[in-house]
Structure 1
Amino acid sequence: MHFCKALLFLNLRIALIITLLFGCVAYLYALSTIQHMGPAAVKLTRNVQGTEIGKYSTVTPLATQRRTAVIIVTQMRSGFTFVGEIFNQHPNAFYIFEPLWALENHKNKTYNNPGMQLELLRGVSGCRFEQIKDVMKFYLTTKGLGVMTTCHAVDKMCDGFRDKSANATWPKRCPIPENTLPTVLQSTCEGKQFTAIKTIRLDDIKLLQPMAEEDDLNLKIIQLVRDPRAVIASRLNLSKKNVSVMTVLHDKVNKAEVQELCDWMIRNAELYRNKADWLSGRFAVIRYEDVGMEPIHSMEKLYKFIGVSPKTEVSKWLENHIHAAKRRKDRENPFGTKKDPMKTSNEWRTRLSIRQVNTIQSVCKKAMELFHYQIVETKEELRNTSLNLYGKRYSIIP
């Protein structure tokens, strides 16, 4: 009897050991499966306090897990360089200045079309460069834009391939082998927290709708506008300096040019005002004048809009920028960033005649009303810079 009881107890212990072994094997198999599925598909679900509320479960990736890309769209002489620098100065930004220039100037003239514009902006935004490597090679090795002095992340990337003992002339400023260029660009891009693109060559933001609907991209669009009187005055000033620009140089207000500028301002802003679903939470409008009056506050709102911490480097740059703007040499550089936005907001009032102002105001009446730019009626109002024409804010930053 005692022997039977002992045998039964032994069998129970063996069965328990076998059960435990099978349990361990099953657990290791499940854990291996979860790891292969990846963190984007399977994660530990937690509540807002960070407390575990469930086991491993399949979830949709959050917006913060997607690649964040901000595209700043504007027009020539609208303060785009200054606003672009607010993002370029971020240490974790992959900033690209005017990539569509490469399509416009590439030897392959078939590249300059809306389809290729979308492909290029999509590739840069999502760190996918294989399909656009030809354009990016041209962009990085062709003199014209000053990419190396404009895009900090790109310059640092190219510097790793330069021969330090030789003069880094074009195209040796970025001598990355063509066969490795897509990989190097992808690695550099993905090594940064977000992508920022600035362009003056996007006619209609509706082109960006397919990008806004991609699951793996957290797209933000910022439309930067400026008083059309100031824009035209700045363009005319370039003509006096004999600076080669995209538009035809002239010394008179060109109504067709003014109409094109103001139509662009209205067309893209009204798409948002008409509540286009795909722009919900993705679109912001900012006036250059509002940035000039409140640079730090505007910077903070812009970074909050894209969901990125601004970092102290950005605010320090803004503070230094305003102080540096007092130096005459920096102010006189037509493409420099060291300008006082508040001061430049009113420079047009001493450069334009009342007749020129009236021409612009008559053509741009709707745009000026939409963006709250106050009309001047007389020469006295025009010259009286103590009269605030920008007191009522328009900037819309969700």
Structure 2
Amino acid sequence: MGGMGKSQQSANPKTIMIFGSPRSGTTWLGKIFDSHPQSHYLHEPEIAQPTQVPVFPPDEALAISQLTTDISSWLNARDVRTTGTRPIIRKKGESAFHHALRQANIYALKGMERLIPSMAMAGPVLQPPSKARTLVVIKTVNMLGRATLCLQAVPHLQGIHLVRHPCGQIASILRGIEKFGERFELSNSALPYSPMGKREGLSSQDLAHLSPVEILAWKWAAFNDAAFQSLSDSDRAIIVSYEEMTCDPLGSVQKMFTQLGLDWVSNVEAFIRASSEGAEHDSHYGLKRDPRLAALRWQSELSADTVQTIEAICRKTAVGRWAFSLDTGEKTDDMTINTPSLPAG
């Protein structure tokens, strides 16, 4: 089955945090890491245990101190929303009976959640044995504005910034709004306080006159910009293009594992192959789909005017110019992406 090498067999597992916007492939990437038999996957723990740190923190020292506490708490989460995402994967050292019991525990709580939504935060959920755990992965779509400070708060933490093309991400959100109605997707009160908002002089009055597409473009640009500017220069973070990942899922994830100092295992390869064989129009939140078709779906959905509107806003940032340069094949000198072989410890 393979492992992570003797350097990883310690009481302090490697900890990785996946940052990205909603509808950017972060859940798929998170479950790919979850398919490793020695990993422990935490799905958006900041939902069950919200941080008090503002989206774009004005006081970095105070934010770092609070995030140190928050992340420590998230690492011990046992609620079903955080630790019960499906598929439920059997881990190294977990007996068939224990795995079946854990599945029953999770499915029972998921069933109760349909009747009582607050059960999503309930616990404790039965957890796999921790003795063989050498990797912990936290996946979040709410921490881009605080990504840099998360790495400062936990010195051994490594980061992955997953960037989906803005048109693909926005088209996916618009599909969700059409299907489920608008919930929080267009909330935007934090935008003027973002680094991009401050650079561009964005005000609350300006936001009141923006269309939904313009708001979504500003959100993609402002949040990804906040993480990209600093993480791209960090020796503890890598930037990953979702579109490039969908072109070659197996090769892309193998490269990621190498950069993060992880050994390759057959379980991960099997999961990637199985999750990449779905149909083009699988369920909105499904994991089993053809990722390349999903990534390019926006090209047949968005009008030329809509794409132009999104591009004009996103190109105000280095991450936007980078994303559109990957799409068009143009060369850009805005940013050299740092993708080092990160330290194994």
TM-score (norm 1): 0.61
* SS of residue paired to 2:41: strand
Kept after mapping to 1: 8 A contact 2:148/2:231: no
Kept after mapping to 1: 8 A contact 2:41/2:136: yes
Q: Percent identity?
A: 18
Residue 100 of structure 1 is matched in structure 2 by: 46
Match of 1:270 among 215, 218, 229: 229
Paired with 2:53 and 2:323, the residues of 1 have a C-alpha distance of 34
Kept after mapping to 1: 8 A contact 2:151/2:157: no
Kept after mapping to 2: 8 A contact 1:93/1:153: no
Residue 147 of structure 1 is matched in structure 2 by: 84
Paired with 2:314 and 2:152, the residues of 1 have a C-alpha distance of 31
C-alpha RMSD of matched pairs (Å): 3.9
Q: Is 1:197 matched with 2:138?
A: yes
Paired with 2:108 and 2:140, the residues of 1 have a C-alpha distance of 30
Kept after mapping to 2: 8 A contact 1:212/1:219: yes
Deviation at 1:368, TM superposition (A): 5.4
Kept after mapping to 2: 8 A contact 1:227/1:368: no
Kept after mapping to 1: 8 A contact 2:24/2:164: yes
Q: Is 1:221 matched with 2:159?
A: yes
Paired with 1:70 and 1:347, the residues of 2 have a C-alpha distance of 30
* SS of residue paired to 2:328: coil
Kept after mapping to 1: 8 A contact 2:45/2:140: yes
Kept after mapping to 2: 8 A contact 1:103/1:117: no
* SS of residue paired to 1:346: helix
* SS of residue paired to 1:373: helix
Q: Comparing both chains, which one has the higher relative contact order based on Cα–Cα distances under 8 Å and sequence gaps of 6 or more? A: 2
Paired with 1:335 and 1:260, the residues of 2 have a C-alpha distance of 21
Partner letter of residue 255 of structure 1? E
Write the deviation string for residues 282-320 of structure 1: whole angstroms up to 9, x where unpaired: 110001011011211111111112222231011112122
Summarize the Cα distance change of 1:299–1:226 in structure 2 as closer, same or farther, 3 Å threshold: same
* SS of residue paired to 2:324: coil
Q: Is 1:361 matched with 2:311?
A: yes
Deviation at 1:256, TM superposition (A): 2.9
Deviation at 1:122, TM superposition (A): 2.8
Deviation at 1:391, TM superposition (A): 8.1
Deviation at 1:237, TM superposition (A): 0.8
Paired with 1:341 and 1:77, the residues of 2 have a C-alpha distance of 12
Kept after mapping to 2: 8 A contact 1:290/1:395: no
Q: Which has the larger radius of gyration?
A: 1
Matched length? 286
Deviation at 1:123, TM superposition (A): 3.8
Match of 1:318 among 235, 253, 272: 272
Q: Is 1:389 matched with 2:328?
A: yes
Residue 77 of structure 1 is matched in structure 2 by: 23
Paired with 2:160 and 2:38, the residues of 1 have a C-alpha distance of 19
Match of 1:308 among 252, 262, 268: 262
Kept after mapping to 2: 8 A contact 1:68/1:306: no
Kept after mapping to 2: 8 A contact 1:94/1:153: no
Write the deviation string for residues 322-376 of structure 1: whole angstroms up to 9, x where unpaired: 22x13x6xx331011112221122111111111111111111113455424149x
Paired with 2:217 and 2:264, the residues of 1 have a C-alpha distance of 35
Deviation at 1:267, TM superposition (A): 1.9
Q: Is 1:254 matched with 2:213?
A: yes
Deviation at 1:70, TM superposition (A): 0.6
Partner letter of residue 165 of structure 2? D
Deviation at 1:151, TM superposition (A): 5.5
The correspondence of residues 1-398 of structure 1 with structure 2, limited to 5 A, is 65=10, 66-104=12-50, 112-113=52-53, 117-125=67-75, 129=76, 136=77, 139-140=79-80, 147-149=84-86, 152=89, 160=101, 169-170=111-112, 188-202=129-143, 203-213=145-155, 218-242=156-180, 246-248=184-186, 253-273=212-232, 275=233, 279-280=234-235, 282-323=236-277, 325-326=278-279, 331-365=281-315, 366-367=317-318, 370-374=321-325, 389=328, 396-398=338-340
Kept after mapping to 2: 8 A contact 1:93/1:192: yes
Deviation at 1:189, TM superposition (A): 3.9
Deviation at 1:84, TM superposition (A): 1.4
Partner letter of residue 33 of structure 2? F
Partner letter of residue 199 of structure 1? T
* SS of residue paired to 1:75: coil
Paired with 2:164 and 2:104, the residues of 1 have a C-alpha distance of 42
TM-score (norm 2): 0.69
